[in-house]
Structure 1
């Protein structure tokens, strides 16, 4: 909740800075970049925490959403399962 409040504050500040830029006050133009980066930082932390909570929720479940599954290379995805390896004839 605290992160969302910070995010709202930064977004309001950014909109104010954009308005002042449109009017012609060039004194605060350099601050726009730092505010945008702060918004990105807050969103990054928020999304990481949300994903960690979802991982805890689905930890011992049979099925997981695609975005929470382990990322594998194509070779690992196409590799035979242990059951298939045993079933192979020599």
Structure 2
């Protein structure tokens, strides 16, 4: 019985972390309602863009979130990063 209880608890713990599936449409909406108030999408496709990998993209989105005081949840940031990566950056 103790083993079964330990297995159930372990499964609960492991499945409750990172259970957020990114929502590209939410990312697009958040981006369009917030990010475009400061800049266009031209900087995403520029040959001289500063963002060169997925980690840098996430860092940039977090910095913009802070600068705009949007107070997005971590899931919202993940959604915006996923949207930008899918439509513009195409990092693997």
Normalising by the residue count of structure 1, what TM-score does the alignment of the two structures yield?
0.30
Point out which structure has higher relative CO (alpha carbons under 8 A, 6+ apart): 2
Greater gyration radius? 1
Instruction: Tell me which protein shows more helix as a share of its residues.
Output: 1
Normalising by the residue count of structure 2, what TM-score does the alignment of the two structures yield?
0.29
